[in-house]
C-alpha cells in the first residue's frame, strides 16, 4: 500500500473525496502487519474520532481493495482480514488465537502441469498454513 500522502493524492486524482475519516484509516493501515479486521480498524478509528461508523470503515477498506492498495483475505477466521502488504506472500494462521503471520515462499511446484487443471485458468495461488503460533505453542506446552 502507498503512503497516506500518496493515497490522498491518488484519491483526489480519481475524483474521490478525502475526508478526515479516510485519512485516519490510511494512517492506521500504513505499515500495519497485523492483518486487521474491519472491526479492529474501527476500534482504533473511534479512539481518535468517536462518531465514525463501521460502515464508513468497510466502505473505505473496500475502495482501497478495489484500487489494489490492500487485499481482503478470507482465512477462515470468521471475518475478513485486510492486508496492505502487496508483495507476493502467503499466510500462517493460528488455529487457537487467529493471529495471522506472513510467510514468503518460492513454490516452483505450483507451476502446474496444465493436465491437472482440466481447463481451469489459474489467477493466483494462496497457501494457508494452519497451526499454532509461537505464543500459543508455548502456552500449550505449559498446560
Partner DNA sequence: CAGTTAGATAACAATTCCTGTAAGTTAAGC
Partner DNA sequence: GCTTAACTTACAGGAATTGTTATCTAACTG
CB of 107 to DNA, least distance (A): 27
CB of 132 to Zn ion, least distance (A): 6
Is residue 76 involved in binding DNA (CB under 7 A)?
no
CB of 120 to Zn ion, least distance (A): 9
CA-to-CA distance for 116 and 113, rounded, in angstroms?
6
CB-based contacts of 56, cutoff 8 Å, min separation 6: 21
Cβ closest to Zn ion, residue 24 vs residue 94: 94
Give the long-range contacts of residues 120-124, CB within 8 A, separation 24 or more: none
Is residue 62 involved in binding DNA (CB under 7 A)?
yes
Q: Which residues bind Zn ion (CB under 5 A)?
A: 94, 96-97, 99, 133, 136
> 66: closest CA among 45, 88, 82, 48?
82
Q: Taking CB within 5 to 8 Å according to partner kind, which of Zn ion, DNA, a copy of itself, none is near residue 97?
A: Zn ion
Q: Taking CB within 5 to 8 Å according to partner kind, which of Zn ion, Mn ion, DNA, none is near residue 49?
A: DNA
CA-to-CA distance for 16 and 137, rounded, in angstroms?
45
Stretch that binds DNA, among 35-43, 86-94, 100-108, 127-135 (CB under 7 A): 35-43
> 102: closest CA among 2, 35, 27, 31?
35
Is residue 37 involved in binding DNA (CB under 7 A)?
yes
Q: What does each C-alpha distance from 117 to 58, 110, 114, 120, 129 come to in angstroms?
A: 35, 11, 5, 5, 22
Residues forming contacts to DNA in the complex (CB under 7 A) are 11-12, 15-22, 37-39, 49, 51-56, 58-60, 62, 78-80
Amino acid at each position: 500500500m502507498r503512503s497516506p500522502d500518496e493515497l490522498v493524492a491518488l484519491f483526489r486524482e480519481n475524483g474521490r473525496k478525502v475526508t478526515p475519516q479516510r485519512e485516519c484509516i490510511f494512517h492506521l493501515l500504513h505499515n500495519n502487519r497485523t492483518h486487521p479486521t474491519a472491526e479492529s480498524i474501527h476500534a482504533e478509528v473511534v479512539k481518535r474520532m468517536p462518531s465514525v461508523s463501521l460502515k464508513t470503515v468497510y466502505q473505505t477498506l473496500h475502495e482501497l481493495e478495489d484500487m489494489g492498495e490492500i487485499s481482503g483475505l478470507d482465512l477462515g477466521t470468521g471475518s475478513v482480514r485486510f492486508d496492505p502488504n502487496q508483495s507476493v506472500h502467503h499466510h500462517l494462521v493460528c488455529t487457537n488465537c487467529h493471529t495471522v503471520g506472513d510467510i514468503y515462499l518460492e513454490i516452483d511446484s505450483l507451476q502446474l502441469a496444465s493436465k491437472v487443471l482440466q481447463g481451469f485458468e489459474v489467477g493466483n495461488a494462496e497457501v494457508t498454513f494452519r497451526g499454532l503460533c509461537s505464543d500459543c505453542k508455548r502456552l500449550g506446552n505449559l498446560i
